[in-house]
A and B are shown apart, each in its own frame.
Chain A
């Protein structure tokens, strides 16, 4: 172990940093898009549609790309998913539509649905920045908590139906995880903000920033002041490791590291350790580790307590991290964070193995990794406190999150919820579907 922790900014020349955080997967050229579109078989009862949480008419929009009807293609996507632009960039298509693509079964080479979707949406945003037409005003006012994908998908659909929507957002900017929680090279060129502006161009949506549920707002007040309420505030808490040394300097939550990186224009000002250890097995771990590497960290290791098959990051994401020079070590759980002079200097791990019940348990074997920076990515949790009154929760929960029915109704009449704060898969595209379904349910309820 060296004497002092090595955390520094500007490890790479500015041009290299700019390249490292530019678009990781450049768009298809017009000709590439036509050729790729021609690979779509235009299936009947297409499996890809079923695999998309928002049910986009994938063969339909791809056919339109093939015929040069990019406007129609983009509008077909947006009908089902108003966040089609960011979903095209961040969706794990390899486990959704592209996994279901019949070309995967045929030749293990699916149609590049995500890339084609991006082609259509990018075209529309460039050529027709305000494509949305609202229904006549209904005079109904709806409150939405959270300006992330769930909240804005809900708000947009409600606005289309003619309702007036006020979105309450705790942070200074809209976009939720698209703005604060996703690797920069996945949503390059300020795409999260450009997309929100595109969505808000529908009109009828006001965002009230700096408003947190449980602090500046209460659910009963919202319920009283609006015809309906949609909760889409995501996960406000992060899990701790629960081991010694978590307060040492250089130990951070990966989500904070990613958020700071996203909000820092000049990446040369961002400090990063020479040796970085990331603990966890999800997309947050991948995004934190890969971005640490791209900031110039020399040695980045992800450590996960189980095997590659159990990681919630997809195989493609794991490959991406490894291609970026990140090492992934499986079957090890952190035991203690080691420090000197208040700074973290290393982590000791216990090797794990599966016990008879299928749980990963320590095997007794130990190893240590040197580290100047440790990023914790062992999961985010729903914070229910803002929904409590007089010591009891106002809404029923399920698996520690807000319980909802198929229409995204909570246990409280007039209150709906979606996105990461409800049980289910934590994906942008699933959040969009929640918001959309809730908006339709709210629309039926307030106009019925």
Chain B
């Protein structure tokens, strides 16, 4: 059995599966249930100044896909709407009762040194393992110059991070917003401010849908809607890319990353860890199915690690990072071709029509003695993978890399590149 214990920026946990700062971590009641289910840690739902914020009724929107619920999810809920003192008392008790679990407290107060300074001491006094700075909330709080309004300005990120490091001894994780053009800028700002780690991504600004009867964005609040924060399985690709971007930068390589974004299974978690994450945070999957999902996350990750011979998380953490390169590093002489297993083919014709209409006319639709038959035309196939993606049958269409006939050639050296770097003279 693989060892899943986690040491994330000095914060220890029995496993890397933490619940993200969100409704599931708003109260001791929920958090205790999560710990009983086996979660390795929680980031307590964001605390703010008293008096507490007020939340609206009708808070979540969702994207269903072909009858499958919650492929994507958004919310317009704000930070905790419970009194600060109540949260602090519960955090203290929970950490005392569950000393082996990571308990991190998410914070968001107005962007002044006094405001941050005055909340840090009582939080530190709870005995929590660290704080996460909520610089990502993209709705509501950002209109009040908090949340993403801070996270979108690297100078503010650095400034607030520095205040937190200056006025407390706690570990500081900076949670980054994806609603930005280049994730490296706030990541570097966090590092410059002395952050112990970053976590990403927060939610993506979104409208999940428009109610065509009420003519209002969803979720509808008394006939009107506002943009919310998008999360769930649909955002995983965005999150993976941003995690990878930070992990592969030489100057950020030592900055621990807590991966967040659509993680629903052990496999999703393994992908984030392979791209450099030291822990992962989950919200939507738990909100969809309850805390019990962590059972298979732990069990599945452990079994997969055993099958690969990885003993600890560090054995494979970041292993995919060196292979996440810029486009200009890709080999233009690499060639792969689609192959159709005729015995597995069910004759749906999707490969043909996709290629014929939208790609390279490289799959012929034939009738052989009246029976449908689809065949790849190698001379036309560019190896784009489209057919393999649309084919509904596992392993029916596979992409087969062709033997290399030419040495690796990248764009900077390609003859078609007007900016080509000339090869050194002999």
Contacts and interface: CB of A to CB of B under 8 A. Distances in A.
Contact of B67 (A38, A47, A103): A38
Given A34-B66, A38-B67, A45 B346 contact: no
Contacts of A42: 350
B66 A106 contact: no
Contacts of A35: 66-67
Interface in B60-75: 66-68
A44 interface: yes
B348 interface: yes
Contact of B349 (A37, A38, A44): A44
Nearest to A33: B67
Given A38-B66, A41-B350, A47 B393 contact: no
B391 to A, nearest CB: 10
Interface string A43-69: 111110000000000000000001000
Q: For the complex, would chain B's binding face be called helix, strand, loop or mixed by DSSP majority?
A: loop
A105 interface: yes
Nearest to B365: A45
B347 A105 contact: yes
A47 B350 contact: no
A34 B64 CA distance: 11
Contacts of A103: 346
Contacts of B122: none
A103 B348 CA distance: 9
A381 B57 CA distance: 70
B115 to A, nearest CB: 48
A31 interface: yes
B352 interface: yes
A102 interface: yes
A377 B349 CA distance: 43
A47 B345 CA distance: 13
Contacts of A43: 347-350
A419 B368 CA distance: 33
Nearest to B351: A44
Contact of B348 (A37, A66, A102): A102
A106 B346 contact: yes
A47 B350 CA distance: 12
Interface string B333-366: 0000000000000111110110000000000010
A125 to B, nearest CB: 23
The listed residue with most A CB atoms (<10 A of its CB), out of B349, B350, B352, B353, is B349
Interface in A84-107: 102-103, 105-106
Given A102-B346, A105-B347, A41 B66 contact: no
Query: How many of chain B's residues touch chain A, expressed as a range?
Result: 10 to 19
Interface string B364-377: 01000000100000
Q: For the complex, would chain A's binding face be called helix, strand, loop or mixed by DSSP majority?
A: helix
Nearest to A38: B66
Contact of A44 (B67, B350, B392): B350
A228 to B, nearest CB: 35
Nearest to B367: A45
B421 to A, nearest CB: 45
Contact of A105 (B346, B349, B353): B346
Given A43-B348, A45-B372, A31 B67 contact: yes
Interface in B64-123: 66-68
Contacts of B365: 44-45
Interface string A4-41: 00000000000000000000000000010011011001
Nearest to B357: A44
Nearest to B353: A44
Contacts of A41: 348, 350, 392
B328 to A, nearest CB: 37
A50 B350 CA distance: 17
B45 to A, nearest CB: 32
Contacts of B392: 41, 106
Nearest to A66: B66
Given A34-B66, A38-B67, A106 B349 contact: no
A421 B101 CA distance: 79
The listed residue with most B CB atoms (<10 A of its CB), out of A31, A41, A44, A66, is A44
B347 A102 contact: yes
A32 to B, nearest CB: 9
Given A41-B348, A102-B346, A47 B66 contact: no
A93 B199 CA distance: 54
B345 to A, nearest CB: 9
A102 to B, nearest CB: 4
B403 to A, nearest CB: 32
Nearest to A67: B66
A387 B348 CA distance: 47
Contacts of B393: 106
Contacts of B372: 45, 47
A35 B69 CA distance: 11
A48 B352 CA distance: 17
B420 to A, nearest CB: 42
Nearest to A59: B348
A272 B67 CA distance: 46
A44 B348 contact: yes
A324 to B, nearest CB: 32
Contacts of B348: 41, 43-44, 46, 102
A350 B106 CA distance: 86
Given A41-B392, A106-B392, A106-B393, A46 B349 contact: yes
A44 B66 CA distance: 19
A71 to B, nearest CB: 15
Contacts of B347: 43, 47, 102, 105
Contacts of A38: 66-68
Interface in B374-426: 392-393
Nearest to A32: B67
A38 B69 CA distance: 13
Given A44-B365, A47-B372, A106-B393, A34 B349 contact: no
Interface in B14-64: none
A171 to B, nearest CB: 42
Given A44-B353, A45-B365, A106-B393, A34 B67 contact: yes
Contacts of A102: 346-348
Interface string B283-296: 00000000000000
Contacts of B66: 34-35, 37-38, 66
Contacts of A34: 66-67
Nearest to B396: A106
A38 B350 CA distance: 15
Contacts of B68: 38
28 contacts: A34-B66, A35-B66, A35-B67, A37-B67, A38-B66, A38-B67, A41-B348, A42-B350, A43-B347, A43-B349, A43-B350, A44-B348, A44-B349, A44-B350, A44-B352, A44-B353, A44-B365, A45-B372, A46-B349, A47-B372, A66-B66, A102-B346, A102-B347, A102-B348, A105-B346, A105-B347, A106-B392, A106-B393
6 closest cross-chain pairs (CB), A and B: A44-B349, A38-B66, A44-B353, A35-B67, A102-B346, A43-B348
Given A37-B67, A45-B372, A66-B66, 5 more contacts: A44-B350, A46-B349, A102-B347, A103-B346, A106-B392
